[in-house]
Structure 1
Amino acid sequence: MRRPARAGVPVRRCYRRGIRGSRAYEGNGVGGCSNMARTLLCEIVTPERIVYTNEVEMVIAPTVEGEIGILPLHVPLVTVLKAGELRVRYNDSKDVEWFAISGGYLQVHEDKVIVLAENAALASQIDVDRARQAKDRLEQRMAQLKDESAAQADRDVCEVDLNWCEAQIKVAERRG
């Protein structure tokens, strides 16, 4: 008889030893896994600079299909982000940093989360008045583009910029 494939081997080769087995409840992780990562490295990167790098406990990001929460030992993942608010939790989930992002990509691999975004800003660094003025200008421009027989590409660029302004305003108002 053929033996089954080793698909049942847990991540990081930390085997269960039973509830009363040695190391089962040492308090160093879940189910006796003493090497379980309690944090993950989060990097938020734009084409111009690295916006944020820190050890965090959770990342909550806006994907095109809804929000996603990333914890340590998450499966490898690449997903598309939409414009919105990105949150990182650290210090036993007591502290939260808020970022506005314009969309992009999120990659999870081996307790590391990389956010690649066209634009990203920390909530405390957002100039709300400037974002509102830009939003008003973009709304006027969108109205003009709908009236004219403008190219779809022009409307798409304007819509992306408008979503970025709205994300900045939302994050700044929530944290302000």
Structure 2
Amino acid sequence: MSKFLCDIVTPEKELFSEEINFVVVPGSEGEIGLLAQHAPTVSTLKMGEIRLKMEADSETESYLVNGGYVEAIGTKVVVLASRAEKVGNTDIAEVKAKKAEAEAKLSKVEEEDSRAAFYREEVAWYTFMETLLQRKQ
């Protein structure tokens, strides 16, 4: 199986840049699986899990993203994420504490539009991360 370069980048830093065999990203219209030499593709991303396969027989490495874009051209895939974190770098107790803190802050936000935005950015993020970590255990 041919390999290709995959980069995962946020506004703060480059999180991942390695050759891999396969990647699945959470496209806004559904999951997109990409192999080397995939037809040129550009898509928006929704909150979800990016799954990377380094070798055909290796375990999957996961990243949580909170929206962004993916571009696949020839032998390169670039994920530009507004927020991303490697699943497994954080323990579940820390995620639960951050989720509880976000929920407490949410209760103090008064404007409805601001509440919805805060929920999407913080509470939903930690809820999704908690779910992924529980699934990986």
TM-score by length of 1: 0.69
Larger Rg: 1
Return the match for 1:132 from 84, 96, 110.
96
> Which of residues 49, 65, 80 is equivalent to 2:13?
49
- Deviation string, structure 1 residues 122-149 (Cα, Å, up to 9, x no partner): 222023222212222333444554xx4x
For residue 12 of structure 2, give the secondary structure of its aligned residue in structure 1: coil
Aligned with 2:35 (options 71, 78, 82): 71
2:134 is equivalent to residue 170 of structure 1: no
The AA in structure 2 aligned to 1:82 is K
Q: Which moved more, 1:160-169 or 1:150-159?
A: 150-159
1:108 to 2:69 alignment: no
Identify the structure with bigger relative contact order (alpha carbons < 8 Å, sequence gap 6+): 2
Deviations 1:13-56 (A, max 9, x none): xxxxxxxxxxxxxxxxxxxxxxxx71111111111111111111
Give, in whole Å, the separation in 2 of the partners of 1:63 and 1:93: 25
Counterpart CA distance in 2 for 1:128 and 1:118 is: 22
Q: What count of residue pairs does the alignment treat as equivalent?
A: 137
Instruction: Describe the superposition over 1:147-174 as per-residue Cα deviations: whole angstroms up to 9, x where unpaired.
Output: x4x1514421332222221222122222
Q: Larger strand proportion, structure 1 or 2?
A: 2
Give, in whole Å, the separation in 2 of the partners of 1:164 and 1:151.
19
- RMSD (Å), alpha carbons: 2.0
* Gap runs ≥5 in structure 2: none
Identity of aligned residues (%): 29
